Structure 1
Amino acid sequence: MPTLFTRIIDGELPGRFVWADDLAVVVLTIAPITDGHALVIPRAEVEQLTDAPDDLLAHLATVAKTVGRAQQAAWGAPRAALLVAGFEIPHLHLHVLPAWDESSLSFSRARTDVPAAELDAAATRLRDALVDAGHGAHVPPDASSPRL
């Protein structure tokens, strides 16, 4: 049975895509800890961090770094944070978010009541920052599709 993330990647469920390549996609989470909080997800259904092949994990980390730099530029954050937990969905994903301090890194701060328009605006802001940084080739032309 496909995971929730596979269903999003396959277009069965909606997602706000900001990055796509042959190995991974990046979508904004619907429960952001900070504005611009994104998830780097491998296209392959890898259950958890320790199951990932080294080359895939290296690719995900590189994408996370690129997205983190764009988040810093878009939100003026002093840091980009990377969190890996994976308890809620059995499909490896890296949380990347603009961060101002360690207190902003707690999942207890995740907001589940963010209006769709605000999430859409954050996706546009991050997509624009990625394009401005020279990564337009990996920004899908439509935020609702993981296709390039």
Structure 2
Amino acid sequence: MSADPTDGSGCVFCRIVDGELPAFRVHEDGAVVAFLDRRPLFPGHTLVVPRSHVETLTDLPEESVGPYFGAVRRVTGAVERAMEAEGSFVAGNNRVSQSVPHLHMHVVPRRRKDGLRGFFWPRGRYPDESEARGVAARIRAEL
């Protein structure tokens, strides 16, 4: 098997999607496959991956965004109900801290006082409103 990064043939998640590697699947449709994370934060921690190999959210074709996030939404509700959770944490990384270079969203069931703290890193403030306005302007310019 080649490891051409453009076709995903060496990708662990592509191999799960193709049935070459085992996984505890919880959902699949034409757009996605969802399966339990092998190293869950809590029982029910599920990964939702697009069937096609794309590395990051910004690589996901525009026409795939709706079907992908529609599935993420449905899986999130199912995880919350099945695990009798009070809520959930839904997150994904782009490149940095992305353990598998294939787009995936983590759906983690949550309960109050479960020990997971919102974001996992220290948060700060902008030094002043001028700095915040400048950052907002830079992002708007890229849109």
Residue in 2 that maps onto 1:95: 106
Compute the TM-score of the two structures, normalised by the length of structure 1.
Answer: 0.65
Q: For the residues of structure 2 that align with 1:67 and 1:75, how far apart are their CA atoms?
A: 12
Q: For the residues of structure 1 that align with 2:90 and 2:29, how far apart are their CA atoms?
A: 20
Q: Does 1:35 align with 2:40?
A: no
Q: Which amino acid aligns with 1:93?
A: H
Q: Check conservation: 1:84, 1:93, Cα contact below 8 A.
A: yes
Q: Structure 1, unaligned stretches of length 5 or more?
A: 109-148
Residue in 1 that maps onto 2:86: 78
Q: Does 1:54 align with 2:62?
A: yes
The total of aligned residue pairs comes to 108
Q: Which amino acid aligns with 1:104?
A: L
Specify which structure has the higher proportion of helix: 1
Q: Secondary structure at the match of 1:104?
A: coil
Residue in 2 that maps onto 1:139: none
Residue in 1 that maps onto 2:76: 68
Q: Which amino acid aligns with 1:69?
A: G
Please tell me whether Structure 1 or Structure 2 has the larger radius of gyration of its CA atoms: 2
Q: Does 1:13 align with 2:25?
A: no
Compute the TM-score of the two structures, normalised by the length of structure 2.
Answer: 0.68
Q: For the residues of structure 2 that align with 1:105 and 1:26, how far apart are their CA atoms?
A: 24
Q: Secondary structure at the match of 2:116?
A: helix
> Residues 102-126 of structure 1: CA distance to partner in whole angstroms, max 9, x if unpaired?
8426798xxxxxxxxxxxxxxxxxx
Q: Secondary structure at the match of 2:67?
A: helix
Q: Which amino acid aligns with 1:22?
A: G
**Larger RCO, structure (CA 8 Å, separation 6 or more):** 1
- How far residue 55 of structure 1 moved from its aligned partner, in angstroms, is 2.8
The CA RMSD measured in Å over matched residues stands at 2.1
